[in-house]
Structures are given as structure tokens and as C-alpha cells.
Amino acid sequence: MSLALFNQQLAFLQIYKAQSFLTEEAPLISMHVSKLVGKAERFRLHASVADALAGTNPRSAASPVLVLNFRQPDGVVRAAILSFENRSSGLALYYYVVPLSGVLGAPQWYITKKPSNVSFWVDQGILRMTLAGPNGELITYSGAMTQ
């Protein structure tokens, strides 16, 4: 009897661990990204960080790179980049602040390393982000900029 209870407890813990992306990581990703997108004045999608920096090849199809433009209190427009890429330490959704010089350094931080894929796309003028979790979960967030 006690062995059956122990096995049941182990099975429950495995199920709980498999769901941790949905219950723990995804809400934090949503909070960070929605705050960033909500404060942006405009956005662009690109296939690569190099295209984003050069301002070339913008697209509306699913893309791993999102450029956000923010107007500062002094009127200067600054850019930030969200990029799902592998920077030698595995795939992650990175956040860059583009300096006024335009020369991009290392990312300021990463939002998450848990998803197996992140893509940004536009549907009828609405920005959407799809996360593919480590266990095949798919979550799509939709949002628009607020002024």
C-alpha cells in the first residue's frame, strides 16, 4: 500500500514539474513582454538582429526579432530589441537596449531560457507572440501598444 502511495506521489510530482512552464514561467514572460510592448510607440519585426539594427527587411511574418521604439521624456526615440536566439549558452529570449551610437553590445538580460521557440507576428495590426514550451506547450499572447 505504501509503495503504491509513493509511486502515486512520484507520478504527481512528474506531472507538476512538466506543467511548471505553464504555471510559473509563462506568466512572468507575459508580464515582462506586455509591459515592454505596452510602453512602445511602434514596433518592427525582423529575421535577425543584424537586420533590426540596419533597419532593413522588416516583415509581418513570424519572426524571432522584435524592435520596440520608445519616446523618451526629452523627445528622443530609443530602441530596444527582443530576440530569440542562441548566444553560445543555449536558446533564450534576450533584451537589448540599442545605444544612441547604434553599436549593439551584449544583451542587458534575458527574459527566459525555457521556451524551445519564440516568434513574433502581426495579425490584423495586432502584435502576437507565440511561445513553444519545453514539453510542446504552445501559448500565444496578443497585445497592442497603449498611448
pLDDT tens, 14-45? 776 667 788 888 899 989 898 998 899 999 99
C-alpha to C-alpha distance for 83 and 67, rounded to whole angstroms: 9
C-alpha to C-alpha distance for 96 and 111, rounded to whole angstroms: 11
pLDDT tens, 78-122? 999 999 999 888 899 999 999 887 778 888 899 999 999 999 999
* Alpha-helix runs per DSSP H in the chain: 2-18, 20, 26-39, 49-54
Which residue ranges make up each domain of the chain? Answer: 2-143
C-alpha to C-alpha distance for 77 and 126, rounded to whole angstroms: 22
Query: pTM to 2 decimals?
Result: 0.83
